[in-house]
Structure 1
């Protein structure tokens, strides 16, 4: 299914959103921006299995944890084509909704009205202590107390207000907010206005879907190689791929347990495991049942997937070839997972004990409970098809990074 053109965004909103996206002023310790984990030079992600939040050093695949810090429990998804507005965002779908909302959100937070789901999503990372906000007692990069971290988690609205106080104290941001929201007095500006601008920037500048596959859908029969066509026939034909990766986004509209190896510090009550969608459902539905969406995650959209390794919700696989091998025989792949695929810092965080493997396999999607029996040639054809989803314009996003931001904090270091 072809994708319709992205509507042009208000240039003043885009300009403000670009500055905010790259400005570390939004983080408690003034040491991390949205772009740190969603770096244009890494195609809108960070090239890491698990993201490294506040306190870390470096950028991209070489970024490392700071003293006393923990990995973010999930892989940082690419920002490419997130502006196409899938119904669900985040790996567990904790934010969802159509059009201008209303949008579902974590029960501990109430998201104010925003124009689209991407703006709703952008309200949350600044609240997360491990990602951007920091821990109580932290000092920022100038040695000053982190006032955002001192607030209780229940004071999320105060965190948003404190960030706006920082931003509006800078004259250049006052000008940019005034241009983006000309009818809104400064006293009425909230972080929802900042998130709306960030969303406009992402929609305008991170949308890339003129791939060979899309050109093929527009009747350019020569756009795909013979191998990619064979891979597409497998993907949309006898294999179960399209059960999850369908529609114009080729994914993002449901949840599935596909037997991904468990890796990392874990999330919520399931820690050190990551139960995925089950954690969200347990908060929404009293007594949902022990296996309801257990280990299920949102299948990501696949356009430009070639550029956004490593793969899966925890970055368990470094290449598309490794992903296809996993799907070819999920039970075997899970039982024989090779931790040397991981960065050495993560290998001790792999949960490969028999009890965990049995737990994951108990709710595995039915099509993957037995081998798909793919030949080497068929696996190669599938990879060729996945690579045909790459828009050439997505290969170099370096032009999206500004030389500076209004706070004066470094953009890249």
Structure 2
């Protein structure tokens, strides 16, 4: 067990403590299902127009993200930071939020997902989850990661496309659960997939038995094993290896769990409290608007809870492998780790000083004029600036450098390689988005 690593001036009762990440605390995953999920994750067959896969926006090269502040889903070409919008697609908006990393989503402590927490473990609808599908979410999903995998398939801007383009997107406009049987049939009629499902799932006796539930569970088996990461220098240090951290990293760890207050929210084995906090991150892009929002904005957790006290609060991200997952914030407002750290130290001043020049949005000429319009709305700026849940901290440049050094110690040795990696091909015969194409 680790020592209590605290600076002398910080009261013990007020400080979060480092917690080890136990490999036994991950959900179990069947190896054959994970191998099947690998193929599905990289196969564009799951998208409405058969031209985008899960891996397009959640790529190994970017720690399970895409390296963009706001991504390009349907209507683009390329992977990661090389992805561009196609002129003839005339996509109507960017993906409203930053693509989150996938590290350690299979940890048993995770019971809520998405930046606004709109998916959580719950018996509210009798499905095991409180989700955007409400009572229409299918039964039999293995875990919250399986449930999460279903929703990008229904999103017009992510994977479904426009209703006039394909039957998947058209079905999504009728009712969310009408999408999933169409996709399931696409998959199971491919002979290689049909046989693989029969082999991987004991209750599947013939390809015709495959539903979206088995597809989601296979995807979850892959995701929860591929991005499992607990081999960082930080882990070795907590296991007793005093040499695993450099002197700056040791000082940064003391600050993180002490005077800097980072551990107040970034706590536990994944370095997240899984709660929601308002940081006054500047808004840009389309935002995840509610039906009755008269303009582009993003109220975060309030969009799910409908409680005014949740306005502009977003879920605390895990900091595991954080050095690999730029840009930072729910909308990628900061390109660098130092930028987001300094924002935490004085959110009001950082909000006032922030400019669009620091954001590398993919060039989409027909959307560019509206990208930063929300910043010109004085009332919305005032509302955002007034909602801050963290207290300012006065740290020196040297102390900031030590915290940044500590954050690099959270990078796992196998973080970017994964376990199964990228398949050479997929059963549909469609092109595979590869990591080497992403930079």
Say whether the fold is shared (TM-score over 0.5): yes
Moved over 3 A (4+): 98-101, 185-188, 344-348, 395-399
Distance 1:150 1:8 in 2: 36
1:179 matched to 2:179? The reply is no
Tell me how far 1:392 sits from its aligned partner. 1.5
User: Does structure 2 retain, via aligned residues, the 8 Å contact 1:41–1:397?
Assistant: no
Q: Which residue of 1 aligns with 2:96?
A: 73
User: Does structure 1 retain, via aligned residues, the 8 Å contact 2:252–2:406?
Assistant: yes
Which of residues 319, 341, 346 in structure 2 aligns to 1:324? Answer: 341
Which of residues 222, 233, 237 in structure 1 aligns to 2:254? Answer: 233
Distance 2:369 2:355 in 1: 10
Distance 1:110 1:341 in 2: 41
- 1:159-197 per-residue CA deviation (whole Å, 9 max, x = no partner) reads 100001101110001011111113224444211110100
- Structure 1 residues 207 and 347: alpha-carbon distance in aligned structure 2, compared to 1, 3 A threshold: farther
Tell me how far 1:232 sits from its aligned partner. 1.4
Distance 2:416 2:211 in 1: 35
- Structure 1 residues 45 and 212: alpha-carbon distance in aligned structure 2, compared to 1, 3 A threshold: same
Which of residues 414, 421, 424 in structure 2 aligns to 1:400? Answer: 421
SS at match of 2:315: coil
SS at match of 1:297: strand
User: Does structure 1 retain, via aligned residues, the 8 Å contact 2:65–2:100?
Assistant: yes
Q: Which residue of 2 aligns with 1:303?
A: 320
**The 10-residue stretch of structure 1 (264-273 or 47-56) with the greater mean CA deviation from structure 2:** 264-273
1:135 matched to 2:158? The reply is no
SS at match of 1:393: coil
Distance 2:79 2:50 in 1: 15
Q: Which residue of 2 aligns with 1:277?
A: 301
- 1:237-276 per-residue CA deviation (whole Å, 9 max, x = no partner) reads 1233222111111115100001111121011224511111
Q: Which residue of 2 aligns with 1:342?
A: 359
User: Does structure 1 retain, via aligned residues, the 8 Å contact 2:260–2:395?
Assistant: no
Tell me how far 1:101 sits from its aligned partner. 7.6
Distance 1:396 1:115 in 2: 25
SS at match of 1:408: coil
**The 10-residue stretch of structure 1 (356-365 or 172-181) with the greater mean CA deviation from structure 2:** 356-365
Unaligned 5+ residue runs, structure 2?
A: 1-18
1:4 matched to 2:22? The reply is yes
Aligned counterparts, 1:215-230, within 5 A: 215-230=236-251
Which of residues 182, 189, 204 in structure 2 aligns to 1:162? Answer: 182
Which of residues 391, 400, 404 in structure 2 aligns to 1:379? Answer: 400
Tell me how far 1:152 sits from its aligned partner. 4.4
SS at match of 1:386: helix
SS at match of 1:177: helix
User: Does structure 2 retain, via aligned residues, the 8 Å contact 1:339–1:347?
Assistant: no
1:83 matched to 2:106? The reply is yes
**The 10-residue stretch of structure 1 (30-39 or 248-257) with the greater mean CA deviation from structure 2:** 248-257
- Structure 1 residues 21 and 107: alpha-carbon distance in aligned structure 2, compared to 1, 3 A threshold: closer
Which of residues 143, 146, 149 in structure 2 aligns to 1:122? Answer: 149
- Structure 1 residues 335 and 109: alpha-carbon distance in aligned structure 2, compared to 1, 3 A threshold: farther
- Structure 1 residues 97 and 10: alpha-carbon distance in aligned structure 2, compared to 1, 3 A threshold: same
User: Does structure 2 retain, via aligned residues, the 8 Å contact 1:109–1:156?
Assistant: no
Which of residues 367, 372, 375 in structure 2 aligns to 1:352? Answer: 375
- The size of the alignment, in residue pairs, is 396
Distance 1:342 1:243 in 2: 28
- Structure 1 residues 308 and 3: alpha-carbon distance in aligned structure 2, compared to 1, 3 A threshold: same
1:58 matched to 2:78? The reply is yes
Across the aligned residues of Structure 1 and Structure 2, the Cα RMSD in angstroms comes to 2.1
Which of residues 110, 120, 128 in structure 2 aligns to 1:102? Answer: 128
Distance 1:219 1:101 in 2: 43
Which of residues 14, 28, 41 in structure 1 aligns to 2:34? Answer: 14
Distance 1:334 1:364 in 2: 11
TM-score, structure 2 length as denominator?
0.86
Distance 1:89 1:152 in 2: 21
1:242 matched to 2:268? The reply is no
- 1:38-85 per-residue CA deviation (whole Å, 9 max, x = no partner) reads 011222111000121111111111212233212100000111212224
- Structure 1 residues 273 and 360: alpha-carbon distance in aligned structure 2, compared to 1, 3 A threshold: same
